[in-house]
Amino acid sequence: MPEASSANFNRLVEPKLKERRLTRQARETCSAANHIAGACLVNLTWVCSPRMNSLLLTGGRVIDPANRLDAVADLLILNGKIAAVGKDAATQAPGEIERFDAKGKIVCPGLIDLHVHLREPGQTAKENIATGTAAAARGGFTSVVCMPNTSPAIDNAGTVALIHERAAQHGVVNVFVTGAITKNIAGEELASIGSLKRAGVVAITDDGHCVQNNELMRRALEYAKMFDLPVMDHCQDYSLVTDGVMHEGYWSTVLGLRGWPSAGEEMIVARNILLAELTGARVHCQHLSAAGSVALLREAKKRGVPISGEACPHHFTLTDAAIAGSEKFWAEDGKNFFSTLNPQPSTLNSFPEWPAYDTNFKMNPPLRTARDREAILEGLADGTIEILCSDHAPHCDYEKEVEFDYAPFGITGLETELSLSLMQLVHARRISLPDLIVKYTVNPARLLNLKKGTLGVGADADVTVFDPDREWIFERDETASKSSNSPFFGWKLKGRTVATIVNGKKIWIEQAELAPV
Ligand SMILES: [Zn+2]
């Protein structure tokens, strides 16, 4: 329901004021010549290290699945590269090197999120490369892969070059770019896939949209295979989904909202499996939400079809009951969520609250049933779904503050995804910590042929340090994103990034780590 115009005005103006205030603070607090462009614009916890590219991390539990390492060890970074890992790494460090005490923390390869909307160019009221990568750094991500549904769409080499240039100027983490499958993401005519590859895209996708014409999709896969590019697909059959706004089921009936059936996703997952089999091209199904999609993927992978899938924390944390309001969600589908917290919320009144029809629970694909959520969790546990990501999709407050039917789909996710994944997968004892890290490092790097996701000697020193047990509350005024469309504000979460290191530079340190002990 539209709010009073004065409230909308405040919400429109407030982000701009916040940005100006933070920019002024950054100027006052960071005069070091060697700070990373953009890093200091967002939060006072950004740091400027005197020796930017060398660091010794001591005493952490180093988990590096790419090198089968899981041990308490030191990690030495020299000139932006991993120089040594192990008990004797400290002996090789120059005497004056900066040290970081990682005792009691996890030290792992920098996390990769392969599904992020940075909204630049053309939608920078929602997000831009500086703010989006700042949110990534806060969440522990050293690399993000941005989607091409910008304005204009990233469907040609010139726009790819523009993103690379802006990312080099304003990004605080590595930004990899995807190109569109079709011109202007219109689903009608193939983009110049070879030209996009030469410009440096790591995959092609029409994300936000889905190529409906199966013959066109077949040709896209054949071209992509020639250029050794994976094709990532947002699986949505338009004729089945039509104008659905939430999962089609019990709650859509109760709430009187138009339904979006699971088959609308499963139909395209099945199509992609058949076309991957036909062409031999690598197809990756994005943000899977339905139990049937997981079953299809599991069966196809057994047959050796080159298909893969990803899942986002909102789909394996929330359900469609959340759209009926917090009370309905916590009463049944959400009742175990906080079971690993200490202390747990004691009464239903102390759980996070939100009203029915809250548009921060509207996403594409939609939140589904508890059975679907369980299937996604099982798919992650048995390896059917190899990759975790956020589908970080910022939108302005004024866009979301409308009736549920009219609000855009999507939520921000970079700053909460590691915590939610830890809670739902590791603390819930579904997968091990190394298996979780694989899904954020080795597996996305392998799919996209990125030279990332490893702490091997000589690799780029992209490192994430996190405390899997730290409990914290995600506060609205602390987000680094330009947008605030998260359903998780006010939630107590378990597991938090402590430091994010890109090319040997500490680009984010959690405030508590800077406080004198
Ligand atoms: Zn999508």
pLDDT per position as a tens digit, 472-491: 999 999 999 999 999 999 99
- Strand segments, DSSP code E, in 207-365 are 231-233, 246-247, 259-260, 283-285, 307-311
Q: Would you say 17 and 25 are in contact if contact means Cβ atoms under 8 Å apart?
A: no
Residues β-bridged to residue 81:
78, 460
Instruction: Please say if 391 is a catalytic residue.
Output: yes
Q: Record the tokens describing residue 282, joined without a space.
A: 């690598």
Tens digits of residue pLDDT in 43-53:
434 444 445 69
CA–centroid distance, 207 to ligand 1, in Å, is: 5
Residue 342 pLDDT grade (very low, low, confident, very high; cuts 50, 70, 90) = confident
Dist. CA 113 → ligand 1 center (Å):
14
The pLDDT tens digits for 348-406 are 667 999 999 999 999 999 999 999 999 999 999 999 999 999 999 999 999 999 999 99
Residues 142-155 have pLDDT tens digits of: 999 999 999 999 99
Q: Tell how strand 259-260 and strand 246-247 pair up.
A: parallel
Name which of 286, 102, 138 is nearest 208 in CA terms: 286
CA–centroid distance, residue 510 to ligand 1 (Å): 30
Task: Name residues whose C-beta falls within 8 Å of residue 411's C-beta, 6 or more positions apart in sequence.
Answer: 314, 360, 363, 391, 393, 485, 486, 487
C-alpha 263 to ligand 1 mean position (Å):
16
Report the separation in Å between the CA atom of 287 and the middle of ligand 1, taken as the mean of its atom positions.
7
pLDDT of residue 4: 37
**Residue 169, burial from CB neighbour count under 10 angstroms (0-12, 13-18, 19+):** exposed
Tell how far the Cα of 221 is from the centroid of ligand 1, in angstroms.
Answer: 18
Distance of CA 293 from the midpoint of ligand 1 (Å): 15
> In this predicted structure, what is the pLDDT of residue 343?
77
Instruction: Report the separation in Å between the CA atom of 362 and the middle of ligand 1, taken as the mean of its atom positions.
Output: 13
Looking at every residue in the chain, the average pLDDT score rounds to 90
- pLDDT attached to residue 345: 76
pTM, full prediction: 0.90
Which of 31-45, 105-119, 378-392 has the least mean pLDDT?
Answer: 31-45
Q: How does residue 439 score in pLDDT terms, banded at 50, 70 and 90?
A: very high
Over the stretch 303-314, which tens digit does the pLDDT of each residue have? 999 999 999 999
Asked whether the predicted pLDDT for residue 90 surpasses 50, the reply is yes
Q: Which of 268, 172, 249, 217 is nearest to 505 (CA)?
A: 172
The helix/strand/coil state of 167 is helix
CA of 286 relative to ligand 1 center, distance in Å: 7
- Ligand 1 center to residue 96 CA distance, Å? 47
Residues at Cβ < 5 Å from ligand 1 ion: 207, 234
Ligand 1 center to 180 CA (angstroms):
13
Contact (Cβ atoms closer than 8 angstroms) between residue 118 and residue 128: yes
Ligand 1 center to 390 CA (angstroms): 10
Sequence-distant (≥ 6) Cβ neighbours of residue 424 within 8 angstroms = 313, 316, 317, 377, 430
Query: What distance in angstroms lies between residue 251's CA and the mean position of ligand 1's atoms?
Result: 23
Task: Calculate ∠ Cα 46-352-248, nearest 5°.
Answer: 110
Identify the active-site residue in 113, 320, 391, 462: 391
Give residue-wise pLDDT tens across range 165-217: 999 999 999 999 999 999 999 999 999 999 999 999 999 999 999 999 999 99
Q: What is the pLDDT of residue 512?
A: 64
